[in-house]
Chain A
């Protein structure tokens, strides 16, 4: 693997770019991570972008490093986008520095560019791992591969009528209940209404084993089966105290995953659940800690066997690697509780007067609800975050600029939902409007023409504009009717022959095997519309998690429970909270915004989004009379259309 980057003769443009990026990376490392680099060659290097947090596995990274020289150790701190390598000799480090700066590492479907800088010493602050929550036990190899196959066979996921489309279009975990149905709308079980189907017979020997081995004293009478495809998860939650007895047993089948336990004081413990293992939750771990699975396709797990070439230091939990998720099915066995709960954790106990977690916003069911949802989860949020939002939005998207500059000068142009006026500066013919006064004030302060109005009712005359743009606005409307009304209103402004450009956020963040910038690595300028700032900060991740648990966004959204047995794909209309920089798991969701500061005290705001599936935007626009979709494309994680309006 020779890279022409090392050939001294040509100081090519490419070389200069790499150097610039390398400097920028070391600057970012210092500023956000306290990693101090040095210009003097040493034996150790920090490898920006080459971290577990960026989807780089230990194996992939080791392979390229070993070609540079003998590796003494490779430290990969959990969740971080960088790694540290120490070579046996300075010579190896020099070689790596010369040859791997700007190197594109192929990781699964995406390629990651590495930037290396020397460091004096390698420190890894990510200290001792958090001990398991009190009352939690994990029993590995609890069932045999034969039993595993047998249990997986018991579950009939075959779609019932009406379920087919939901199954195809929405990427949600599947849920099926036996014994009693857990109702996500009331967060409890209907104890007077047992389901026709009791627990499958195949479960009996497994449950007897649980009793024999002392994991539980009573036989469970309720079973919930969840199936998670790679990329799916479940928001953090505590199983309702008044619904179930103390012990909860959960079998993992088919594939392993990582479950996160969170204590109200902020402690987080990530527990790897191998396939065929049994998780036993009792006491504090069942009553006080929340548990959840972050939707993602790759987990960080301890490397299987210690590697000779990369020994770990005692006490430092950096011997991690990545494991790609497969389809995991969990069997969770619980015993219905018939008396109020008297646990020792009243703060989390609904039987003892703790407020049952507020249900969080749901998808609107009437127009007034929709307006209220948008008011609280779009307009109020933009007003609050306006100046921070504006600071993160300077780079106009090239293809939008291209559209704007292709219009003849002297055109009448409107930007509906103009935000901080990012595009108003691109073409002086534009007038902007936005719902947020705070953002319009920013436009005005920059000398742009702008006013406050709603995109559903724009105070401009019918047929007065040569072209209109609506960039990243229509995904904030919470019903299909309102999204259609927004397109109609935009088209109403057009003269015959006029054009409109619409961008909305795409459900498909990976398109043509390209990850959008939103998902991509972080040592790059943030071009993305939807970048939130603290992606380096662990804290912000946690705080979003906490938010999830208090919203109790129990499950993903939309579509009703589908059949008698209690099979449902999406048992609740509650909106799920998105984990920033991960793939979407539902189309209607709340996206956290972390204000600058990254302190855990800084509140997190949630914006409502409806992310569009491929073809959905075209379909929406086709319903407006006189409109032709001139072109449509995927650009930076958005679905985009150019519309042409003519009198019919």
Chain B
């Protein structure tokens, strides 16, 4: 699971009102080298929940020195974009789980894939 995906996911357990962001409990994290595409990263940034991304990066130990608030004019800031590229696309949680912040329900991540299926009773 890349952090881009994590940034979109929310808990959908029945009755939960504050299910975002999901907490990450990682037992295996991998970093892949991927081609850096500044345009792609620039256009991803506005659709992110910035705070959630930084928190997730922090939890995994890959925050680098990303600011808590999104900076202005990042399109021109290649160094910044490279850091975002890293946390967004290169860092990948391979094993572990995602935890609903409200209900505590855990969703396993296996071979890099989050399984968000609910049981009948919590659907």
Contacts and interface: CB of A to CB of B under 8 A. Distances in A.
A451 B115 CA distance: 6
A412 B10 contact: no
Contacts of B1: 451
Nearest to B42: A410
B46 interface: yes
A460 B9 contact: yes
B10 A461 contact: yes
Interface string B42-66: 0110110000000000000000000
Q: SS class of chain B's interface: helix, strand, loop or mixed?
A: mixed
Q: 7 tightest A-B contacts by CB?
A: A410-B43, A453-B116, A452-B115, A459-B116, A459-B12, A451-B114, A449-B5
Contacts of A464: 8
Contact of B9 (A409, A411, A454, A459): A459
Interface in A588-645: none
Interface stretch (A27-35, A264-272, A325-333, A435-443): A435-443
Contact of A453 (B4, B111, B117): B117
Contacts, number: 65
Interface string B67-110: 00000000000000000000000000000000000000001000
Contact of A444 (B112, B116, B123): B112
Contacts of B10: 459-461
Interface of A: 371, 409-412, 428, 431, 433, 435, 437, 440-441, 444, 449-454, 456-461, 464
Nearest to B12: A459
Contacts of A460: 8-10
Given A428-B40, A459-B10, 9 more contacts: A410-B47, A411-B47, A433-B116, A440-B113, A441-B111, A451-B115, A453-B12, A454-B118, A458-B12
Contacts of A412: 8, 47
A457 B115 contact: no
> Could you say which interface size class chain B belongs to?
20 to 34
B121 interface: no
Contacts of A451: 1, 5, 9, 113-116
A452 B114 contact: yes
Contact of A431 (B8, B46, B107): B8
B118 A457 contact: yes
A456 B107 CA distance: 17
Contacts of A456: 123
Nearest to A412: B47
B44 A435 contact: no
A435 B117 contact: yes
